[in-house]
């Protein structure tokens, strides 16, 4: 395939070499003549393990050239990859002027081209950039997106120091677009890599790198705060985290990574508070650990705001324990939400198949007596009774049978889902908490 790469910085240079090594003929484009001259001498524009040998070898084979002229590159390629810098402002916004200018130049070149062209965004950009770039190309080319060209989002996940290795060994290749043939063409570029190719919506592809790197930053700061606490207690922090990482069922796994309602129960709130207290008692700052509780409280607030916006006061709460399959009400976010609704004058009906007042004992009974002393007046053993008595249905257990009650739910003012019951998502009155 004939490919042009715009931007010969870190991502562009690595992509240039690796794509050429995979058999493609690649044209590099940059406004910096010095970078272009380096490539045209068979030299890399960056210092990175193995890329110097790759650039040298592929240049000698005639697979690599570079130019400062965008039109030359576009007219001699079927795919253009944007690796242009998108630097961040002190406020966290991206400077997209370079990538927008590049899109304008590509559009001007496409005005002189008859064949279909695919533009791939590898640069890190905010959601909505793909759409904007398509509009810029349409305006500068006079041609229509989806007819003469397509714009595909294909974020890179390269780390400095291991970029070549990362290129050839990705965990997943993410491709987002709205044109089937363009998606197939982009996917074919990576077919030699031993990694799954995930075809997805454009906006998903645009935001995924931000999610990845934010989590990587969180992991580092979390480990550092654990380290600080362990050091104060004269505990080997590295040994602690080695054991932590051995748990691939919960710790290093997909477990808990599903957007939804707040956490609760007898363990997470108590043990988090214990860890924060350890830090405080040793005069240590632990801002990440401290923020976890506040963020969890915010999720409860968001749920209540959705309820408030309906303007209705009769609520059926489907699920009171902190999660399905248990009768544990201690620190249940549903109990907190129910308590708040009652305090604000809402009429509440509650169904939870595992919660039976006669069986509540010990700390569980003590907790509910303190927070919902009139639970006996609110709870029912018949889910349909709860649904029929309410205008708003609030679902907080994943085992709720959405298919069974779908007809009845469709007649209600709103169905507010805190856990994501997919059977209900096509209801016109459906509201997901954070999806």
Measured distance CA(335)–CA(173) in Å, rounded: 42
Which stretches does DSSP call E strand in 108-214? 117-121, 149-153, 173-176, 197-200
The pairing of beta strand 314-318 with beta strand 149-153 = unpaired
Asked if 20 and 58 count as a contact pair (C-beta separation under 8 A), the reply is: yes
| DSSP helix/strand/coil, 381 | coil
Quickly list H helices, 6-110. Answer: 10-21, 33-39, 51-60, 70-75, 97-110
Measured distance CA(104)–CA(351) in Å, rounded: 58
How far is residue 257 from each of residues 59, 236, 263, 300, 413, measured CA to CA in Å? 44, 28, 12, 18, 30
Strand partners, 120: 81, 152
Residue 230: active-site member: no
Q: How many residues does the chain have?
A: 435
Q: Provide the CB-side half-sphere exposure for 230 (13 A, CA).
A: 13
Which DSSP state fits 87? P
Q: Which one of 230, 245, 267, 434 is the catalytic residue?
A: 267
Burial classification of residue 325, based on how many CB atoms lie within 10 Å of its CB (0-12 exposed, 13-18 middle, 19 or more buried): exposed
Which DSSP state fits 235? -
Compute and round to an integer the Cα radius of gyration of the chain: 28
**Angle 203-205-208 (CA atoms, 0-180°, nearest 5)?**
105
User: Which residues form the catalytic set?
Assistant: 267
């Amino acid at each position: 395939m004939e490919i042009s790469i715009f931007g010969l910085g870190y991502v562009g240079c690595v992509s240039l070499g690796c794509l050429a090594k995979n058999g493609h003929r690649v044209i590099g484009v940059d406004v910096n003549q010095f970078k272009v001259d380096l490539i045209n001498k068979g030299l890399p524009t960056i210092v990175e393990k193995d890329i110097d040998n790759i650039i040298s070898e592929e240049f000698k084979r005639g697979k690599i050239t570079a130019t400062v002229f965008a039109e030359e590159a576009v007219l001699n390629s079927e795919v253009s990859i944007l690796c242009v810098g998108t630097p961040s402002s002190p406020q966290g916004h991206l400077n997209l002027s370079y990538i927008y200018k590049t899109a304008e130049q590509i559009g001007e070149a496409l005005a002189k081209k008859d064949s279909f062209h695919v533009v791939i965004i590898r640069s890190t950009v905010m959601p909505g950039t793909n759409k904007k770039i398509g509009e810029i190309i349409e305006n500068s080319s006079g041609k229509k997106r989806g007819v003469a060209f397509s714009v595909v989002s294909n974020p890179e996940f390269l780390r400095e120091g291991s970029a070549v290795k990362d290129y050839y060994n990705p965990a997943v290749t993410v491709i987002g677009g709205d044109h089937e043939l363009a998606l197939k063409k982009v996917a074919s570029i990576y077919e030699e890599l031993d990694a799954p190719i995930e075809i997805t919506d454009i906006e998903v592809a645009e935001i995924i790198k931000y999610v990845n790197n934010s989590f990587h930053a969180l992991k580092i700061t979390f480990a550092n705060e654990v380290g600080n606490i362990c050091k104060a207690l004269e505990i080997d922090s590295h040994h602690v985290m080695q054991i932590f990482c051995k748990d691939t069922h919960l710790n290093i796994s997909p477990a808990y990574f599903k957007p939804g309602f707040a956490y609760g129960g007898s363990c997470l709130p108590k043990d988090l508070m214990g860890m924060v207290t350890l830090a405080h008692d040793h005069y240590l700052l632990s801002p990440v650990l401290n923020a976890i509780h506040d963020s969890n409280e915010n999720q409860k607030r968001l749920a209540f705001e959705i309820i408030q916006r309906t303007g209705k006061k009769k609520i059926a709460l489907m699920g009171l324990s902190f999660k399905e399959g248990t009768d544990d009400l201690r620190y249940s976010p549903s109990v907190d939400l129910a308590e708040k609704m009652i305090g604000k004058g809402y009429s509440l009906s509650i169904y939870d198949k595992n919660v039976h007042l006669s069986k509540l004992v010990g700390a569980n009974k003590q907790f509910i007596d303190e927070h919902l002393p009139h639970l006996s007046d609110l709870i029912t053993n018949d889910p349909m009774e709860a649904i029929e008595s309410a205008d708003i249905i609030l679902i907080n257990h994943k085992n709720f049978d959405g298919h069974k009650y779908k007809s009845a739910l469709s007649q209600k003012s709103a169905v507010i889902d805190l856990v994501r019951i997919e059977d209900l998502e096509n209801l016109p009155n459906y509201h997901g908490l954070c999806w």
